[in-house]
Amino acid sequence: MGPDSPEVPSKRARRPRSLRARALSLLARREHSRLELRRKLAPHAESPEQLDTVLDTLESQGLLSNERFADSVVNRRAARFGTARIRQELREHGLPAELVGEHLAELDRTEYERAHEVWARRFGTPPADLPERMRQARFLAARGFRADVVRRVLGRRPADDEPSLDPDADIDS
């Protein structure tokens, strides 16, 4: 085929996709929050009013839902991250505080079990010394697990097995 022969139109020659088509394409891949979808579609919108109209229509049709988005984030992240990290991600997406609170209530109840699973996958053995204990604690804290949960997961410190130097401590003789 030469340069003068008719060909299938290139992507550039095709008619640009509508704002709704772009939104549906993004929503077909995964759930999005309204704020996130607004940010992704804004460069393609002719006006903010047009964008709001499309987003309102998608919400009224049940195609865009902050509730489903929150469920999606919690389900994807719960096995790897703590409640604090997931809470932060939901807040970054502009979700209402009451919606965030509803979704995190169950995570709070399972925080220890989830932290223990994450710790076991990564380390599996208790820390042998203080530097290793601190490394494991930082690992869990960086993933958003509460300090009290991190302490419970890591259990007793190696120094707890040694006799106490405190003169008021009970010593088994």
By the 8 A CB rule, do 139 and 81 touch?
Answer: no
Q: What integer best gives the mean pLDDT of the chain?
A: 85
Around Cβ 148, how many Cβ atoms within 10 Å? 10
- Structural domain that includes position 27: 19-60
Residue 73, number of CB atoms within 10 A of its CB? 21
**Could you read off the pLDDT of 12-33 as tens digits, one per residue?**
567 788 899 999 999 999 999 9
Those residues with Cβ within 8 angstroms of residue 68's Cβ, 6 or more apart along the chain or in another chain: 31
Residue 37 lies in a domain: yes
Looking at the domain assignment, is residue 149 inside a domain? yes
Looking up residue 35, the CATH number of its domain turns out to be 1.10.10
Q: Which pLDDT tens digit goes with each residue over 45-82?
A: 999 999 999 999 999 999 999 999 999 999 999 999 99
The tally of domains found in the chain comes to 2
pLDDT of residue 43: 93
Would you say residue 168 lies in a domain? no
Q: Which of 10-14, 98-102, 122-126, 134-138 has the lowest mean pLDDT?
A: 10-14
78-102: per-residue pLDDT in tens? Answer: 999 999 999 999 999 999 999 999 8
Beta strands in the chain (DSSP E): none
